[in-house]
Structure 1
């Protein structure tokens, strides 16, 4: 009985993991096409932006403003890269489909289906 419950929760966790990988992959592919669209119509992805605290121009990939020390806590540069979005998006989708095939093989072997 306990083995069936643990197998069921394991399958549920694995299915949610595959779904998250697929959703993230699709989001990154969508971001890639958005970046391509921006490049084609001429909207430049700015390399510099103003600090939200002091207004000093800083790099978009900066984590801390060198002028005032404001912490931005994120790196924006990767999301604007077409190549990064392509690699990570298709990599996640490929990994999700590979995991899905493994999941289906595991699903056939579970004892609660017998």
Structure 2
């Protein structure tokens, strides 16, 4: 009985970690595609619309000067093609390690 509980906990943990890593990779991919799309369309404006109040603010600002909405320091990284590529590259090893550990838990061999 303890072995079954331990197995279920391990599978759940590895599955949750794998889903989290894949979510980060997907977010990086979506950011990369949207940034490339903006560059190709010629939308190279350094301004964007604030999600809260609608005023035009810098893409690299941490807070909106009008309403005070916090965009944090990751706003400029997410708007960077290089930042999105690095996010994807960093997450690939984590996804592989987690996936292989999950396969090992199920005693599945890759041939």
TM-score, L = length of structure 1:
0.70
Matched, 1:74 2:71: yes
1:49, distance to aligned residue in structure 2 (A): 4.7
Q: Where does structure 2 lack aligned partners over 5 or more consecutive residues?
A: none
Task: Confirm or deny that 1:90 pairs with 2:83.
Answer: no
Partner Cα distance (2:3, 2:47) in 1: 56
Number of residues of Structure 1 aligned to a counterpart in Structure 2:
105
Say whether residues 1:23 and 2:27 are aligned partners.
no
Task: Answer whether contact 1:24 1:92 (CA < 8 A) is retained.
Answer: yes
Partners of 2:78 and 2:37 lie apart in 1 by 14
RMSD of the TM alignment (CA)? Answer: 2.8
Structure 1 spans left out of the alignment, 5+ residues: 110-114
Paired with 2:2 and 2:81, the residues of 1 have a C-alpha distance of 47
